Structure 1
């Protein structure tokens, strides 16, 4: 058997390992990868370029404990709420890190293999996966300084003795790109003397050393565990920083891309329906490289969308949003975008580089400050502090205009933002607080000292049920947004890979055309991005004269295909020649 021919899967694994670890025994390491992942070398490859999603896919982003009820595991509370109120609105749940952690609200993981007891148990996640697709975070770049691995590192014992990236404090690391202002290296006393470990983020988050293949094998065990527990969508957190070479930027390095290809290869052979999403909050053109040749991420985050959309809605000018959308190449079959307008983090500003001018960025930042936002910074290779993200709830971010400040159009602006996200090419993802119109949680910021806490409110279920069942803006937001999700899920033209073309209707109206994969449904999405009424002629859309055209939002039928349409401030229409059937629960 020693000289048995290698299977196609083994050959592909070896090819990836050759790039990542040029000096190791690739055949032996490939066998370890297969054994660790419990994969038969003869496993057949899944069919390439498959779309593992359709227009019914909408994701909910939430912490495991955002919803709390007395005497109940938060994961159980979440499952009950989502199943009873959102089963006809969403298809997938992104559970932000639910492991024991020491800081950063979960992203400083102490133990990757257990569920934080304060949230629940693995059984809760298995049960959730029976009703919804579940996305879990693979916090792959770093782990907690209070983890067993790091304790072992300091003691010089395994597993962990060589798990962390060390650097020479005298080396020239000025080219390193990172999203924080804290010192890059942390001095640590170990059994083997003083060491300096690499901390891309905080000093509680120590970067793992993937130059050691044992780290790779450890993460393969972790991924396999998650697959066994029902997780099928994997978010690779901060993966752009995975590989380090001093003297370089240490971001987006070739070995990082090769590692993603290897993980993709193994995961999709074990579970052909599994999906990989890379979390790479970087300038747009760099972000697009994580699609690879449809062999890296299935989905990438549209990080430029939140800042550009919010900028358009508070300035009343969609020029930059339109230019950006025109520059986005259609994702090839088997890949697509993950669209979001708010998340557990802030509104990233790096994705606006090359898109907004310095003056426009400053105006956006000052407007968000006016609406209660906080600004987080990063350090450039030149040692300069630059704004990195705006920390604010989406509800507050859209409370007014840059020119006039807070106004009466907050709800309309908010719904318009949701309407844009749901209509664009890609899979839409709602941060749970965007369903409720949750406000800035200033008290939580004061308690934690962390700006990001402003958008990480914890809802007591009695309070949430009260505001959703009484005439509040929370109720209005929830009812309106969930109604839109049901409409969206029924339209073939909203398939994540359906054709999309940007329309030119000036700087006040943002518009694009979608067409279903079978070309039977055409849909024109037109948005008034201003606080004034805006009109356009239907003749500008070149509607097919023989079809009946209906606005799916208002259900108004447009019989005069050359008529004039006036949109109230932030009103939008989804004009379609066919209506998809909305499923009733």
Structure 2
């Protein structure tokens, strides 16, 4: 199969209506002609943390969400995309629980990275750890084995708790490759068309490196997993938050990549009324990308925007976001902060709220996203022009909950009536249906307070014009009769 050049939806299994059946009903009732690119269902598997991102297995669906039959049912009308946390699995998984009982005697022991796989004597060396791109204070957790009461230190890149809920997998192990093959074969049986490789940048652990996107070892793994996916007619989407040069290397090797630069760049364009950086970026980026504005985490800043932003200017932009109710995720390791101490990893907010709930600014942002070459993804909160959910942050103590509101069926129905949502649905239909988006893309010259983008193919062409002084957008296009029509976005 090949990825369709149409708009996709990103949603949790329970965030539109409460479960997968409700999601399917909502999709069929309201969005059958909207998400022709597919539905990215954030982890629907049994999980012990991180809202699905600490999965116990990929062979089952969390019962409170539904079953594989529900995924298959969604797959009848939409291409389904799911995540595979290729770097880690839950500590509650049967695999790690067996290891906790039996230690090295467990038949699953080789799935995990005990510290002696890195340091001969199993004792971590501070100087090695200081070079690593850390996501928590220490990259390992200590566990006590039931059978012999001995301590085992096991690699855990992620995790809010100590010990972590997310246990790293040793991708050098044949047993891990066998397990991943089993997961992919199950995806194929259940009509999954695209798999996002979440946290793939962290899979190689090598002393003397940052343990992030370690070359060339990562390409050996990527080639292996690409071969596996291709053999099952599944597309791969590696998810890597990194310096743009790393993304470009993946693109050069033929992989789809995520455009994590666009969300910040569009925000900067609209807040500072200047298209200079945006136009330069759109002229130079790879085109084989998935584009987004919002997601379940936040607007990427460091390391995605490294060397693309001035940190003083970035501080000002971040302060505007904070004034508008956003919260921040910060870089942990000092070595990966900017020399002046700038340490913002992600800006967490609803994209509609960070644009001050200004309908025209929000539509301008979406129009620019949809005109940027690539496959546009729309996050469910953004689809419904949802605003910052401060209550959820207070209740859960998790900053990312600000943009993870669960919509009841009634809330979905109310949101769809909003004028801005109707405007967005109309724009999505245009992006899905207008033929020129399969053609040639051109960034047209324009004043600094304007954006002008063009797509053309054969006799069809469409031109987006955004006035950054007013945030008004319009699309001029050649219609089916060969005349020119104007569409006010």
Give the TM-score taking structure 2 as reference length: 0.90
Tell whether 2:387 aligns with 1:439: yes
> Per-residue deviation at 1:264?
1.5
- Contact residue 491 and residue 579 of structure 1 kept, 8 A: no
> Per-residue deviation at 1:269?
2.2
**Equivalent residue, structure 1, for 2:244:** 284
- Contact residue 176 and residue 381 of structure 1 kept, 8 A: no
- Contact residue 181 and residue 377 of structure 1 kept, 8 A: no
- Contact residue 204 and residue 211 of structure 2 kept, 8 A: yes
- Contact residue 99 and residue 114 of structure 1 kept, 8 A: yes
Q: 1:181 to 1:377 in 2, by over 3 A?
A: farther
Tell whether 2:98 aligns with 1:149: no
Aligned residue among 284, 287, 302 for 1:327: 284
- Looking at structure 1, the residues matched to 250 and 445 of structure 2 have their Cα atoms a distance apart, in angstroms, of 29
> Per-residue deviation at 1:477?
2.1
> Per-residue deviation at 1:181?
4.0
- Looking at structure 2, the residues matched to 457 and 303 of structure 1 have their Cα atoms a distance apart, in angstroms, of 22
Residue aligned with 1:379, SS: coil
> Per-residue deviation at 1:291?
2.5
Tell whether 2:197 aligns with 1:256: no
**Equivalent residue, structure 2, for 1:348:** 300
> Per-residue deviation at 1:488?
1.4
**Equivalent residue, structure 1, for 2:78:** 132
**Equivalent residue, structure 2, for 1:86:** 31
- Contact residue 360 and residue 473 of structure 2 kept, 8 A: no
> Per-residue deviation at 1:324?
1.6
Aligned residue among 364, 371, 396 for 2:353: 396
Tell whether 2:420 aligns with 1:477: yes
**Structure-to-structure mapping, 1:519-534, within 5 angstroms:** 519-528=458-467, 530=468, 532=469
**Equivalent residue, structure 2, for 1:206:** 167
- Looking at structure 1, the residues matched to 59 and 319 of structure 2 have their Cα atoms a distance apart, in angstroms, of 43
> Per-residue deviation at 1:292?
4.2
> Per-residue deviation at 1:479?
0.7
Q: 1:54 to 1:181 in 2, by over 3 A?
A: closer
Task: Render the CA deviation track for 1:362-417: whole Å, top value 9, x for unaligned.
Answer: 011111110110111122353757211111011111107xxxxxxxxx11001111
Q: 1:452 to 1:134 in 2, by over 3 A?
A: same
**Equivalent residue, structure 2, for 1:46:** none
Residue aligned with 2:328, SS: strand
- Contact residue 385 and residue 415 of structure 2 kept, 8 A: no
**Equivalent residue, structure 1, for 2:448:** 507
- Looking at structure 1, the residues matched to 431 and 335 of structure 2 have their Cα atoms a distance apart, in angstroms, of 46
Tell whether 2:19 aligns with 1:60: no
Task: Render the CA deviation track for 1:288-347: whole Å, top value 9, x for unaligned.
Answer: 2223432xx2x2110001011111111111222222222214x4xxxx210111111111
Q: What is the root-mean-square deviation in Å for CA atoms of aligned residues?
A: 2.0
- Looking at structure 2, the residues matched to 309 and 223 of structure 1 have their Cα atoms a distance apart, in angstroms, of 35
Q: 1:90 to 1:580 in 2, by over 3 A?
A: farther
- Contact residue 283 and residue 352 of structure 1 kept, 8 A: yes
- Contact residue 282 and residue 372 of structure 2 kept, 8 A: no
> Per-residue deviation at 1:425?
0.7
> Per-residue deviation at 1:580?
9.6
Task: Render the CA deviation track for 1:222-251: whole Å, top value 9, x for unaligned.
Answer: 111011001010100010111111211111
Give the TM-score taking structure 1 as reference length: 0.75
Task: Render the CA deviation track for 1:79-123: whole Å, top value 9, x for unaligned.
Answer: 011111111111200000001111111101122211011101110
- Contact residue 295 and residue 379 of structure 2 kept, 8 A: yes
**Structure-to-structure mapping, 1:265-284, within 5 angstroms:** 265-271=227-233, 274-284=234-244
- Looking at structure 2, the residues matched to 238 and 412 of structure 1 have their Cα atoms a distance apart, in angstroms, of 35
Gaps spanning 5+ residues in structure 2: where? Answer: 116-122, 483-489
**Equivalent residue, structure 1, for 2:485:** none
Tell whether 2:407 aligns with 1:455: no
Task: Render the CA deviation track for 1:178-231: whole Å, top value 9, x for unaligned.
Answer: 3x2432221222357322222221122111111211111101101110110010
